[in-house]
Amino acid sequence: RVGENNLQQSEGTEQNRLVARAIPHPAFDPNTLDSDLMLLRLQRPVELSEAVRPLPLPRACAPPGTSCLVSGWGTVTSPQGEGATCREPG
């Protein structure tokens, strides 16, 4: 489901899509969750909206101290954890 911001309540921005293909990061480590990133090819396109939009990818590694854009369900520090609310870009 895309456009999801809170797993515990429907906000009307969600779009359900089936995954046609899932490609995990080749360096993914299920023990440490390092490189916990996966590319998903959806069976049909999503509709772009305020809640569903592309996240620009960096062209190079950012130097230490640079403000970066992140999005995801887990933490950005260890130990890992998860929350009901998506971490928004920022």
**pLDDT one-digit tens code per residue, 16-29:** 999 999 999 999 99
pTM exceeding the 0.85 threshold for the entire prediction: no
CATH code, residues 1-53: 2.40.10.10
Beta-bridged to residue 38, according to DSSP, are 24
Residue type, 85: T
**pLDDT one-digit tens code per residue, 28-53:** 998 888 888 899 999 999 999 998 98
Q: Answer for the pair 17, 42: CB distance below 8 angstroms, yes or no.
A: yes
